[in-house]
Amino acid sequence: MTVRAWAELLRLPALFTVPGDVLAGAAAVSARPDRRTLLAVGSSLCLYEAGMALNDWADRDEDAVERPHRPIPSGRIQPAAALAAACAFTVAGLALASRAGRPALAVATPLAMTVWAYDLSLKHTPAGPAAMAAARGLDLLLGAAATRPASGATRRALPSAALLSTHTLALTTVSRRETTGGAALPPLAALVATGALSFFLSRPRAAAARDLLRTALTAAYAATAARPYLHAALNPSPPLTQRAVGGGIRATIPLQAALSARAGAPVTALLTAALAPLAAKFARKVSVT
């Protein structure tokens, strides 16, 4: 029971959406993943889990009313334990980033600050979705900074970071109504954003074989996100809005893979795409939202 409670608190299936950020960042600067990349992946995973633990600690009073089954309000995990976990994951994430080099730490530090600012103060403000989008973009830049620490190299990853941030902005806006529903505009806007991102990613850029892979991954991204967004737009009930959020989270993986393929890293793209079935398998046991 304790293991399952922590799995729920940390949303373990969502962890599979994290490594692709760093790998897409490495691909964006035309660098092959190396030891520093793996350290950046570890840092990213730790900071992501810090955000999950801190999120439930900060929302414990709200969850007691709206989500009493969650680990903290149900009494399966004590608030102090969740806060301690958030602190420990943050320290571990920054330590791993420092091992990857100063440029990586220079990105991981504002990433950690954004995670804490979002959970503690920005989440329920108009700046909340933008903060979450910034965190995902910084996570991608972490991979670029760690893998190719040369001065100015990270700038080459900015377009990929912007695309990933756009997806995250749309998804986070939808997630703000997942317990109440009643708003058709956020999922409709997310649907439009998915279409725009898919169109941008599908433009010819590389050799025919790479274009074929990128096109297939882009189609997988659009199919994973668009359908639940459409259903939530047509009927913005809490269950369909929650499904839309889950679909948007799962769609992050093919999006990351498509970004890697677009950057000319087919092996990295395939490795990232291979995380999708694992995420789906574990999501049947523990909710990703």
Cα separation, 21 vs 140, in Å, equals 4
Q: Are 64 and 174 in contact (CB under 8 A)?
A: no
In the 8-state DSSP scheme, what is residue 77?
Answer: S
pLDDT in tens, 8-39: 999 999 999 999 999 999 999 988 899 999 99
Helix axis angle, 128-147 relative to 35-58, nearest 10°? 160
Q: How far apart are the first and last CA of the chain?
A: 19
pLDDT band at 127 (very low <50, low <70, confident <90, very high): very high
What is the model's pTM? 0.93
Alpha-carbon distances, residue 268 vs 73, 80, 81, 253, 263 (angstroms): 40, 39, 36, 12, 10
pLDDT of residue 15: 94
What percent of the chain shows pLDDT beyond 90?
A: 81
In the numeric block, which tokens belong to residue 80? 């102090």
Helix axis angle, 238-262 relative to 185-201, nearest 10°? 20
pLDDT in tens, 96-113: 999 999 999 999 999 999
∠ CA 195-173-10 to the nearest 5 degrees? 110
pLDDT of residue 87: 98
Q: Are 26 and 143 in contact (CB under 8 A)?
A: yes
Number of H helices, E strands in the chain: 13, 0
pLDDT of residue 31: 80
Cα separation, 184 vs 230, in Å, equals 9
pLDDT of residue 207: 53
pLDDT at 179 over 90: no
pLDDT in tens, 227-262: 999 999 999 999 999 999 999 999 999 999 999 999
